[in-house]
């Protein structure tokens, strides 16, 4: 069964189309990444799917409930954003208990709170005020308040924004642990490395879906050949590469020049500039390629 299905879902503000007709299918029990730059329409999409914002057109079903029944949708989902929206003057346990009491029968609150404290490794912090937590642990608490009532679908809107690398990695471990119980996690991000962690992704820009599928399929389906060129003078090498006819893109990454060409006919010319090796496509390559296609069609 799919956790989310939409057909031509869209949102307009006046004459401005923030999200173009959107058709998405998200299987149950996976981590689904919604990847795009700031202003792409990611948050607007989540607000529609969570029953907070009424779509301008189209239809959708979330956790088995049509979006035309927003209150029923809200009862089956959880939501946490990058702001880590928790009550800072309440303890970790009090935040969880308050949220659980909104959705669960009184007899089920205690078990839900204890289970959430354990699942997210929050037990040592149960009496700490939320304001005393670091950014990573506060974000973990925010996710806890979103899942304490046992939602079928969890929406995370750029949950790792502003976190250090260690906190981001720990939080992703917690996100994946949620799928063990069948929870579907819908994550928005603009970090390419985070998109690699997702089992399926959709690329969005200017309110339009550019592509969707597994990271492996999207990389494998990207046409062209990619190279990494080592050179003593990276700027000189970059200029030389860009002067060759047939080079589709070239940029510096670390101590290499990364190059994209339509085929391998330039390989000998590139190898004359320095040590050269072929490299696989990255999700950044995929996103840039699809974005360029969209701009060419505009």
Say whether both 111 and 239 belong to one domain.
Answer: no
Say whether both 99 and 211 belong to one domain.
Answer: yes
Q: Is the pLDDT of residue 251 over 90?
A: yes
Say whether both 134 and 209 belong to one domain.
Answer: yes
Among 66, 78, 81, 69, which Cα is nearest to 149's? 78
Say whether both 244 and 133 belong to one domain.
Answer: no
Which residues contact residue 282 at a Cβ distance below 8 angstroms, ignoring those fewer than 6 apart? 192, 219
Residue pair 21/72 in contact (Cβ under 8 Å)? The answer is no
CA distance 71 to 151: 13
pTM of the model: 0.87
At 173 the pLDDT is 86
At 295 the pLDDT is 67
Would 290 be classed as within a structural domain? no
Say whether both 238 and 179 belong to one domain.
Answer: no
Domain with 146, as residue range(s), is: 2-219
At 274 the pLDDT is 94
Would 23 be classed as within a structural domain? yes
Say whether both 80 and 30 belong to one domain.
Answer: yes
At 171 the pLDDT is 83
- CATH number of the domain to which 102 belongs: 3.40.50.300
Mean pLDDT value of segment 217-242: 94
> Per-residue confidence at 296, pLDDT binned at 50, 70, 90?
low
What residue ranges in the chain does DSSP mark as E strands? Answer: 2-13, 16-22, 25-27, 31-35, 57-62, 65-66, 77-81, 153-157, 184-189, 200-205, 208-213, 225-230, 247-253, 256-261, 276-278
Distances (CA, A) of 255 to 99, 185, 232, 251, 288: 50, 36, 9, 11, 21
Would 293 be classed as within a structural domain? no
Residue showing tokens 């009424």: 54
Question: Other CB atoms closer than 10 Å to residue 290's CB: what's the count?
Answer: 17
Would 296 be classed as within a structural domain? no
Number of structural domains (the chain) is 2
Say whether both 140 and 272 belong to one domain.
Answer: no
- CATH number of the domain to which 233 belongs: 3.30.70.100
143 vs 4, which has greater pLDDT?
A: 4
Residue pair 11/52 in contact (Cβ under 8 Å)? The answer is no
Which residues contact residue 75 at a Cβ distance below 8 angstroms, ignoring those fewer than 6 apart? 103
Say whether both 62 and 181 belong to one domain.
Answer: yes
Say whether both 170 and 204 belong to one domain.
Answer: yes
Q: Is 51 exposed, middle or buried (0-12, 13-18, 19+ CB in 10 A)?
A: buried
Q: Is the pLDDT of residue 224 over 70?
A: yes
Per-residue pLDDT of 31-87, as tens digits, reads 999 998 888 999 999 999 999 999 999 999 999 999 999 999 999 999 988 666 789
Q: Is the pLDDT of residue 273 over 90?
A: yes
């Amino acid at each position: 069964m799919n956790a989310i299905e939409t057909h031509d879902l869209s949102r307009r503000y006046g004459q401005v189309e923030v999200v173009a007709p959107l058709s998405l299918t998200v299987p149950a029990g996976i981590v689904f990444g919604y990847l795009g730059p700031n202003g792409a329409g990611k948050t607007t999409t989540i607000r529609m799917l969570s029953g907070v914002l009424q779509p301008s057109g189209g239809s959708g079903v979330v956790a088995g409930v049509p979006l035309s029944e927003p209150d029923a949708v809200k009862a089956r989902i959880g939501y946490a954003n990058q702001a880590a929206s928790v009550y800072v003057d309440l303890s970790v346990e009090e935040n969880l208990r308050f949220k659980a009491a909104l959705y669960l029968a009184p007899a089920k609150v205690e078990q839900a709170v204890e289970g959430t404290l354990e699942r997210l490794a929050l037990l040592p912090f149960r009496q700490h005020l939320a304001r005393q937590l670091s950014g990573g642990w506060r974000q973990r608490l925010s996710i806890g308040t979103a899942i304490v009532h046992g939602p079928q679908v969890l929406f995370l809107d750029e949950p790792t924004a502003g976190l250090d690398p260690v906190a981001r990695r720990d939080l992703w471990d917690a996100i994946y642990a949620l799928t063990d119980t069948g929870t579907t996690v819908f994550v928005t991000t603009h970090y390419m490395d985070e998109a690699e962690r997702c089992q399926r992704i959709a690329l969005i820009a200017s309110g339009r879906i550019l592509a969707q599928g597994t990271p492996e399929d999207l990389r494998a389906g990207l046409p062209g050949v990619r190279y990494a060129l080592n050179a003593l003078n990276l700027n000189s090498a970059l200029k030389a590469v860009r002067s060759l006819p047939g080079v589709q893109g070239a940029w510096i990454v670390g101590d290499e020049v990364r190059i994209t060409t339509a085929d391998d006919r330039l390989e000998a010319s590139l190898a004359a500039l320095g040590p050269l090796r072929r490299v696989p496509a990255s999700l950044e390559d995929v996103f840039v390629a699809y974005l360029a296609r969209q701009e060419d069609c505009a």
